[in-house]
Amino acid sequence: MHIHILGVCGTFMGGIALLARAAGCRVTGCDANVYPPMSTQLEEQGIALTEGYDASQIALDPDMFVIGNAISRGNPLLEEILDRNLPYVSGPQWLAENILQGRWVLGVAGTHGKTTTTSMLAWILEEAGLNPSFLIGGVPQGFGVSARLSDSPFFVIEADEYDTAFCDKRSKFVHYRPRTAILNNLEFDHADIFADLAAIETQFHHLVRTMPRNGLIVANGAEASLDRVLKRGCWTPVERFNVGDGWRAGEPAADGRFKVSHGGTPVGETKLDLPGAHNRANAVAALLAARHAGVPVEVGLKAIASFPGVKRRLEMRGAVRGVTVYDDFAHHPTAIAATLEGLRSRVGGQRIVAVLEPRSNTMKLGTMKAQLPASLAEADRVFCYAANLGWDAAAALAPMGAKATVFDDLPALVAAIAAEARDGDYVLVMSNGGFGGIHQKLLDRLRNSA
């Protein structure tokens, strides 16, 4: 079977490409404005990529077009597919019908931490010898690819609440029908498709309604929004974490080790290279989901200690002249704050220079702009790239005074950061896109000015 994927360089659709190829399909795809790591991953895996969405791609004559949710009406290739009444399907539906059917699906949902927690869960199952299949919205360092198809009954998936496709406005995760689900957290996001938090809670309720009685929901007990979701109807056992009478991670010792307890009683300890309380909570959630799949707690704790992390999640990109540059996907005020707090816990009193590109659909709309100054509080210096924004970033960051500077020219931004940076600084770059390759440009500029 030949499938042609529209939007193949998205993290989800790129994963679909890898799974389809592993399942024996011939896979081609197209996208625009591609950037690593997904474009690199597809190239390495031999997936033929066409730049752009010209209608002439109809001549490839695939058996099925698989449509990513970034593709909207007006796209020339999509319009040609519709005009000719050619077969098409959304990515999540294709995945559910061709890959997930009959498997034990472990889904990780939540506003924040999905990629890291999904990667942790896959890593625990791998270390336990269960050889899971997976589809993750990033590239886990321990696997080197965002998706894998194995002969294991277990399939770990990042369960995104974003809409499915132009033709299906339900959340992606309603297609997956997980037996085990992590509900990590829930707050307002995706302002381009959801009117308010209540609308997102309804989608999470729809997810819960698909779960079996012999399944398990691992829920963050500290989230009132998730309590509301579960009170709307739940037919599946629930285990709570991040709360005193449930499972929780303790504070780390000087060597980074921390205890995991249940109902206040210690059950073991582990360590995690990723800093921050949010990542320790992510680890506990992954531990519990793996336990439901048959992995003993002690085996899970050992696996967490060897978890190597995820690309673009507080990933160190290099160090020049004593300046260390990190890359992170944070693009929501809560995630920005958590990432900065985690880095602060690692570097102590050293200077943190935050470099932010408000690029997500929600951030471009300016819905969260008032929360930005507080979310950046842990940074000693802030640079914001504001090209193509529909709101005044300088005004939004004005409460930070001289601590924050806004640029709409990338070379000027790189030059300003390089001029500001000094020995011992940690530069944290945050964007959900390629950010014009700023990480390498900054490292090169620092190197050339040494």
Give 347-400 pLDDT, tens digit per residue: 889 999 999 998 776 676 677 788 899 999 999 999 999 888 888 888 999 999
Q: Tell me the C-alpha to C-alpha distance, in Å, between residue 290 and each of 46, 58, 122, 180, 398.
A: 32, 43, 9, 9, 45
pLDDT tens per residue across span 274-327: 878 889 999 999 999 999 999 999 999 999 999 987 777 778 889 998 899 999
Rounded to an integer, what distance in angstroms lies between the CA atom of residue 95 and that of residue 133? 12
* 240, β-bridge pairs: 219
- Rounded-to-integer distance, Cα 334 and Cα 320, Å: 30
> In this prediction, what percent of the chain has a pLDDT beyond 90?
66
Start-to-end CA distance of the chain, whole Å, equals 54
Q: What is the mean pLDDT of the segment spanning 428-442?
A: 87
Phi, psi dihedral angles at 80 (to 5 degrees): -70, -40
The three-state secondary structure class of 18 is helix
Task: Give CATH 3.40.1190.10 domain extents, the chain.
Answer: 102-305
Query: In the numeric block, which tokens belong to residue 245?
Result: 């009478």
Per-residue pLDDT band at 45 (split at 50, 70, 90): confident
- Select from 232, 160, 220 the least CA-distant residue to 189: 160
Reported as a pLDDT band with limits 50, 70 and 90, residue 450 is: low
Span 315-448 CATH architecture: Alpha-Beta Complex (3.90)
Q: What is the pLDDT of residue 142?
A: 87
What's the mean pLDDT in 26-34? 88
Residue whose entry in the numeric block shows the structure tokens 């360089």:
9
Beta strands at 323-328 and 315-320: parallel, antiparallel or unpaired: antiparallel
For the cut 90, the answer to whether the pLDDT of residue 80 exceeds it is: yes
CB 119 within 8 A of CB 140: yes
Q: Indicate the average pLDDT of the chain.
A: 91
Q: Determine contact, residues 94/66, Cβ cutoff 8 Å.
A: yes
Q: Indicate the pLDDT class of residue 449, thresholds 50, 70 and 90.
A: confident
Per-residue confidence (pLDDT) for residue 46, from 0 to 100 = 84
pLDDT at 37 over 80: no
pLDDT value of position 247: 96
Residue spans in the chain of domains classed CATH 3.90.190.20: 315-448
Kindly report, residue by residue over 206-254, the tens digit of the pLDDT.
Answer: 999 999 999 999 999 999 999 999 999 999 999 999 998 899 999 988 8
Q: Per-residue pLDDT averaged across 334-339, rounded?
A: 85
> What's the confidence (pLDDT) of residue 191?
65
Domain 2-91 falls in which CATH fold? Answer: Rossmann fold (3.40.50)
Residue with tokens 């659909």: 361
Compute the 3-state secondary structure of the chain and give helix, strand, coil in percent, each to the nearest 5.
40, 25, 40
Amino acid at 80: E
pLDDT at 261: 95
The band of 36, judged by pLDDT with boundaries at 50, 70 and 90, is: low
Largest Cα separation within the chain, whole Å, is 64
Report the CATH architecture of 102-305: 3-Layer(aba) Sandwich (3.40)
Of these ranges, 3-17, 136-150, 281-295, the one predicted with the greatest mean pLDDT is: 281-295
Please state the φ and ψ torsions of residue 198, each to the nearest 5 degrees: -60, -35
Average pLDDT over residues 94-120: 95
Using an 8 Å Cβ cutoff, are 72 and 166 in contact?
yes
Dihedral over Cα of 107, 113, 118, 124: its sign: negative
What pLDDT is recorded for position 295?
Answer: 98
CATH 3.40.50.720 occupies which residues in the chain? 2-91
Question: What is the pLDDT averaged over residues 20-40?
Answer: 84
